[in-house]
Amino acid sequence: MATPITETVLQLDSVTLTAKLGGLPVAALRELTLSIGRGRVLGVVGESGAGKSMLARLISGLLPGGFTVTSGSMHFDGQDMLTMSKVKRRALLGRKIAFIPQEPLTALNPLWTIANTFNEHLARIGVPSNERWETARKALESVQLPVPADMLKRYPHQLSGGQCQRVLIAMAFASNPALLIADEPTTALDVITQTRVMRMLAEQQRVHSTAVLLITHDLRLAAHVCDDVAVMYAGDLVEYGQARDVLDEPRHPYTRALKYATPDLTGPRRRLPVLAQQMPGLSALAGIAGCRFAPRCPSAGAACAAVLQTRVAPDGHRVACSETCEHAPLIDNSQAPLLPPAPVMGAQPVAELREAALTYMSRSGVFGQRKTSFHAVKPLSLQIFPGEFVGIVGESGSGKTSVARLLMGIEQPTGGRVMIGGEDLTRGSAERVRRAREQVQIIFQDPQSALNPRRSVERLLTQALEAAGVAPLDAKQRLARAQSVQRDVGLPADTLTRFPSQLSGGQKQRVNIGRALCASPQLIVADEIVSGLDVSVQAQILNLLLELRRERQIALLLISHDLSVVRYLCSRVLVMRRGEVVEQGLTEDVFAAPRHPYTRALIDAVPSDHAGTPWPPAALEEAA
């Protein structure tokens, strides 16, 4: 964006937010200085634990117990928010300060229609009862939801994720707020839905001249939709400047790490750089007086740990880093590009679909006399060979997961055949089919919910063997097997006795991968396995999968919304739309020269690696 500088809506000057841990004060947010002008968008970028959501809670006045502002000032529309009464500050929420939460489906009451939810919100901001229906209808119309009057009568489960997000955008702007806080508004949305939601948010922001604080982990997205970007790490604002400069010429080592840890959709494929360790938790910050990124920075010196140095360039670009670290190289660009391995075409496929189809039938009418059919997967043929990684991309509801369910034997095809290791899952004996199905394992999307919180890592890693009916292992055998898998997936030795609650997000996903590997499957199905991970953790997991392919020659079916991840891992790709494969081929060929308009729309919906490239594309709606 290129919004001119206007009157300041929100101004923070050297704000420090302190929590007490064990009686000792710890700065959860340290010396934050930033501002947002009317009609401008500030992106706040960083990984989990960086302080993004805590900043939003500070502005909203919704701080958890034990957190207090110990220094600095915060003004909203010229009013001092730190000295403002609680009643007056609460009155701002929903009226002058609006909020779009991260999860649209959980943010809406499942027992209420959209009209009921709107009615509660409009009553709170003072809209007369006889005007609320029409106000809600116009609000939904403004975000281009089809037939707004019908939408108001629906429940959240009857809307898609993108439609629920548009409802929340409409509610947020209904009060014509001066400031909107959008907390990860596109998380879990596919690339086309993400683009539509961000375009809608930008249009509403321009119409209302609203100042927007956009919280996101996606540096590229922020660079394309924001005027300015603030990069946070462990409660510090480490870089602050115009969005284009932050993406194209990042100056802080952490900002550069965020950029380079994300795979590119174009250019040479190179191994992703990985940062050592992980972001320190709140309890670890008490002992860090200087740069909190220093323990992970490959160029940090003794001065970095002693004092936090903030330098301001003539153009106003701020970097909390010494000049030595700022210009130090973070990655080795001389390393050879990654080449996708050639599939073993002469071998027997580990998995095969032969004109496999999946159709769901339903009945409607008073007596169920009307039959309707839904083609989740139209006739599809696919072969996956040993050591081959194949990706499936497409919007939500395109049929990607249905293909995976066919290969795993969870769904029976309504047409065609499903072969695993040469065994026909649709015709073999029950015992032979069971053994064939054991050759397919899954890595789940959310490692937190996929792991039994009452089992140790050792038991979790060997869980697949128990489920497969392998002869029971004694304690020594189970430990040996768990140790072998633990080494393969790069987990520290002491994690075997831990429980999921004691692991980081990346470690949980490594356990998830290890559990899938333990039974030595021929094929692994990976369903959106890095979508909820921070980019530095994502890089670790992607590199791990490449190493496992080289060492074990496993085959993998990757289901993903992220085209750059598919390009990094997969030698072949299938593009699905409404249950049908509209394009397939070598990943490099499909992404470099797509032939189907829908494939082109998916690629265009991905924010470019360069901030100067126009985004989102104007022709997206027509192509998709």
Over residues 78-87, the pLDDT tens digits come to: 999 999 998 8
Long-range contact pairs involving 320-329 (C-beta distance under 8 Å, separation at least 24) = 320/236, 320/237, 320/238, 320/239, 320/252, 320/291, 321/238, 321/239, 321/251, 321/252, 321/253, 321/291, 324/299, 325/253, 325/297, 325/299, 325/300, 325/301, 326/251, 326/252, 326/253, 328/253, 328/298, 328/299
Contacts of 381 (CB under 8 A, 6+ apart): 353, 354, 355, 356
- The whole-number average pLDDT for the span 550-566 is 92
pLDDT-based confidence at residue 530 (cuts at 50, 70, 90) = confident
Strands 236-242 and 228-233: antiparallel
- pLDDT confidence tier of residue 537, bands split at 50, 70 and 90: confident
Write the pLDDT tens digit of every residue in 157-185: 998 888 998 999 999 999 999 999 999 88
**How far apart, in whole angstroms, are the C-alpha atoms of residue 457 and residue 286?**
30
pLDDT average, residue stretch 234-244: 94
pLDDT level of residue 590 (50, 70, 90 thresholds): very high
pLDDT in the model for residue 149:
93
> What are the DSSP calls for 242-293, one per residue?
EHHHHHHS--SHHHHHHHHTSPPSSS---PPP--SS----GGGGGG--S-TT
Q: What is the mean pLDDT of residues 204-215?
A: 94
pLDDT at 130: 94
User: What is the C-alpha separation between 97 and 95, in angstroms, rounded?
Assistant: 6
Q: What is the predicted pLDDT for the residue at 132?
A: 95
Tell me the two tokens of residue 146. Answer: 């089809």
Fold of 1-96+177-192+209-266+309-327: Rossmann fold (3.40.50)
- Lowest model confidence (mean pLDDT) among 13-27, 331-345, 498-512: 331-345
Query: For 103-112, what is the mean pLDDT?
Result: 87
Average pLDDT (465-471) is 62
Q: Where in the chain is the domain with CATH 3.40.50.300?
A: 1-96+177-192+209-266+309-327, 351-362+370-453+522-593
Q: Report the predicted TM-score, pTM, of the whole model to 2 decimal places.
A: 0.87
SS3 content of the chain, % helix, strand, coil (to 5): 35, 25, 40
CB 183 within 8 A of CB 107: no
Q: How far is CA 612 from CA 40, 198, 230, 241, in A?
A: 18, 17, 18, 15
Whole-angstrom Cα distance, residue 142 to residue 74? 32
- Identify the residue whose tokens are 């928010």: 81
| Confidence at 622, pLDDT banded by 50, 70, 90 | very low
Residue in the block written with tokens 């040479």? 268
Instruction: Give the mean pLDDT of the chain.
Output: 87
Per DSSP bridges, beta strands 318-319 and 311-312 are antiparallel
Give dist(CA 51, CA 62) in Å, integer.
Answer: 14
pLDDT in the model for residue 266: 86
pLDDT band at 343 (very low <50, low <70, confident <90, very high): low
Percent of the chain with pLDDT over 90: 46
Residue 403's pLDDT band, with cuts at 50, 70 and 90, is: very high
Q: Region 265-277: what's the mean pLDDT?
A: 84
Question: Mean per-residue pLDDT for 565-590?
Answer: 95
What is the side-by-side strand order in the sheet with 8-21? Answer: 24-37, 8-21, 67-76, 79-80
- Say whether 564 sits in a helix, a strand or coil: helix
CATH topology of domain 351-362+370-453+522-593: Rossmann fold (3.40.50)
Calculate mean pLDDT across residues 183-199: 86
Residues 6+ apart with CB under 8 A from 252: 231, 238, 239, 293, 319, 320, 321, 326
> pLDDT tens digits, residue range 502-521?
887 788 889 999 998 888 88
